[in-house]
Chain A
Amino acid sequence: MSATASSTTSNTPLRDRMHANDEAFKTTGSVFGLTSLARKEDDPGTYEAVWHILSNLCNTAWATGCKVSSSPIAAEGGDALWALHTATGEAVCISRGISAHAGLLSDMIKHFIELGYEDYPGFKQGDIFENNDPHYGGIHSPDFDMCMPLFYQDRLVAWASCVSHVSDSGSVTPGSIGFLNPDCYSDGIPISMERVGEHDAFYPWYEMRIRSRTRTPDFVMGDARGRLAGCITVRERLHEVLDKYSLDFVLDAMNEYVEDSRRYAVKRVKTQTVPGRIRKSQFKDLAMKGKRVLLSKQNIDCMFNLPMDLTINADASVDLSLAGASGTVPFGENISPTALKSGLMMGYSHVIGFDMFNSGPTTAWNVEMPPGGSWANPYPVDYQAASGVAWAPAVTWLSSLYEVFGRLFQMRGFVEEMAAGSGSIMTAEFAGINQTGMYLTGLTLEQASQGSPARGYSDGQNSAWCIYTPEGDFGNAEVSELYYPILFLGRNVAPDSGGFGKFRGGLGHTAVWMVYNTPGLEYQCGDAGMRSKTVGNHGMYGAYPTVPDRPGYGHKTNLKQLIDEKKPLIHERGGPDNPAVTSKIIAELAEDSAVAPFVTPEALVDYDVIVHPISGAQAMGDPIERDPESVVSDLNEGWTTERVASEIHGVVTTQPNDHIVADIDATVKRREQVREERKQRAIPFREWWSEERKKVEAQENMDNAVRVMWETSMRLSPEYGESIRKFWNLPEDFTFTPDAD
């Protein structure tokens, strides 16, 4: 067996062991310096069996912890995660749930070790440590990260960790999707790298702080107890595993699982992709001008630049750069590099390293630190930057990773592995008194069930996927109705929500809610990664990207009258130019195409209606290559419209009876005509470039948000700025000029 830097019999301080691991990796290129996998080679059956036992142990913790938690977000939506780590913090395996957090939990443990907590306050069985502070690597305040050292025979042998998303983080606005937070001081209750309990119990003052500083303390404490219960479950089950399989075997195997996973990912890159350089632009809007905001500095529109520059090297290692990322925003949508990297680890596990999901695959990356002062690396340049919903730009950026690797898999012929980009994440959050007289704020989980991306061989699946969790699960409508003063009037597949291409993305859905039995309810249509003014840069192989996120609502409606008169209500969204909220009901304030995100100008009241659409995922391929039979199938299901079938897909149909059928001959002719029309209306790129460069230089028809974005991107990443000047042949000193305040 090869020597490992993380010896199972070592009494060396954890920080020294961690540094030795780093050194061993640098020297050998293998995690822990494991140049061979001795346990796997000697006893592959037990090695595999213990892996599954440890994974199931985490899943048991998830099931236990979510039920103990009692908050709708965990108990109904499963929005939490448990993990098992080595003594030096590497994630070995994780539960189901919000897998985006595994890297954060790993880095948190490493951070506790690096900061010398082993000496003071020390680590002992039953200690509970937490962090949710982005300044110390957290993602955003509602995600409480917890870890507990696990001892066996008086030795710290592993860590259990957990994250749960609480319903209210005590931020300046109710709830947990704090996009409106203007600065970090408004982000909510901070737990800054703290020991929050001992002997398997929270300190009294921990609970007192939560009771005085969050709006739903019973749920927030319920989540805390759920986290604790899950971590204790991990500990107890791990003891059984250690008793049965021996400490030496399990600790060696835990290290090997991480290195094994690294090898798997590297091999997968080498056998299924191609070396070279990938560039993918991505953008996201946050249009807040003229809306209800908290501080005057927030009366602005913002645009994020989310570039992905990725190089696959000859040794199958991956370099990743965010050069060109735009500046911070005065909203809760900035993210620490640690959290961003954790999200990347999750995305990468979906597309590359999914055999054993742990810290291994990410060790083969070289992630360049994002430009200081950008949304992806705000501190210390903008120390006050808020992170209330830091996932918002991160998941939008991550969507590129799916398309990028989908392209690479295609080049090697692995069509079954291809995927287009993801859907977006627009949340619905409520705050107010519910039907039992209880104040409540929190999320619905509607957004956790989007369409899945188009594949290289088929459409994506409807309402079955979500970028931040492998389990697409929007929970039961009836349970949401128990918590919140709303009634579901509809949950419908949303036609044409999966982009337009040879293969379309899985479709999203629209939830239609009626507010009921409350003195007043705030609807916060939140941004956890959505677009409203733009669409994703996901025109993969000629497809059109999914439509912008535009919710609707009706305030002071005639719904009660319609109910009393037993007349039809509103159950769906209606067409994009025939919205149900304005055609089927009467409302004093009817909004069908609201630019999200927003908080309703005033509280909603009984019989008000909310139409909340959930995104489908992205398509791939030229729309006129789509099988006409798939188009008519969608027409007959009500999943597409005659306009899209005819004008986008070029399919000619007839309806001899109740069923629509394709006229294949006419479709072939129509599609030939479309090809000719395209050639006639398009111009040579050079011709366009010559005119476009003048418009770029004149900054013609560019919203101020776009100009601010370019100005910060080019300033924070000078080389990136230079490449833009060179491409458009702009003067050396050219900069985009935002409006004066």
Chain B
Amino acid sequence: MASFDKADIEKLIDGVLPWPATQEMLKSSKDEDRFDKYVEIMQERVDFDDPILLPLTPMLFIVNDKGSRVVKCKCGHSFGDYRVNWKLSALIYVRDDEEKLRQVYVGREMPDPAWLQLREYVCAGCGSQLEVEAVPRGCPPDFEFLPDLDTFYREWLGRPLPDTCEFKDATLDKINEWSN
């Protein structure tokens, strides 16, 4: 089983690992400790101390915040319960007319705003652009991934988390709150 230095994994993440070493990583059997090393690297790079449970994206992390599992940006801004689509707690900028779309796509490259809106999800803390959606009006935001965290830790990693949390999509609960 292959094993890679943490320093090389960091270089890979930063896109500066030389190609022969990258190829070696691609070809080798995967290292069993990668997840732990990756989390360790990310933990060193974020601006908060809460332990990372899962790197949801390179910028967003599910963390244990004093017993609660919440999504946090690298900068520390919190998006709340990981079972609610974090986008509901983000800032959003929507390009749904030609003027706004033209700032990204000019001339013949511009899509038709009657067919598509470009939704930019922004962190209120650091201003990072976290996701962009290109969908027609009416499309709910994609909840790209709801992890089954307890199964992951208990059955796949073999080390259960100290507490458990029901695996359910709670996004519509939040919408219900807003609707009422």
* A contact set with B: CB distance below 8 Å: 270-272, 274-281, 283, 285, 303, 314, 404, 407-408, 410-417, 456-458, 496, 500, 503, 533-545, 547-548, 550, 552, 575-579, 592-593, 621-624, 627, 643, 647-648, 674-679, 681-686, 688-690, 692, 695-696, 700-703, 705-706, 709-710, 723-724, 726-729, 736
Contacts and interface: CB of A to CB of B under 8 A. Distances in A.
A696 B136 CA distance: 10
Contacts of A534: 111-112, 115-116, 134, 136
6 contacts: A274-B156, A283-B136, A550-B109, A593-B107, A678-B127, A681-B93
Contact of B156 (A270, A279, A695): A270
Interface string B34-72: 110111000000000000001111110000000000000
A407 B138 CA distance: 25
Nearest to B177: A686
Contact of A705 (B115, B129, B175): B115
A202 B169 CA distance: 57
Interface residues of B, number: 83
A622 B60 CA distance: 13
Contacts of A540: 131
A542 B108 CA distance: 23
B135 interface: yes
B7 interface: no
A541 B58 contact: yes
B137 A702 contact: yes
Contacts of B126: 675
A723 B140 contact: yes
A735 to B, nearest CB: 11
B165 interface: no
Contact of B105 (A277, A456, A547, A622): A547
A151 B172 CA distance: 59
B81 interface: no
Interface string B112-134: 11111010111010111111111
B132 A272 contact: no
A683 B91 contact: yes
Contact of A277 (B17, B54, B129, B169): B169
A675 B148 contact: no
Contacts of A270: 156
Contact of B137 (A542, A683, A686, A700): A700
Contacts of A303: 115, 136
A545 B134 contact: yes
B65 to A, nearest CB: 19
Given A314-B148, A679-B122, A579 B135 contact: no
A709 B136 contact: yes
Nearest to B101: A535
A407 B57 contact: yes
Which residue, of B59, B126, B148, has the highest number of chain A Cβ atoms within 10 A?
B148
B138 A701 contact: no
Contact of A539 (B132, B172, B178): B132
A728 B138 CA distance: 8
Contacts of B169: 277
Nearest to B90: A685
A285 B114 CA distance: 12
B143 A541 contact: no
Given A537-B135, A682-B91, A710-B138, A648 B115 contact: no
Nearest to B128: A622
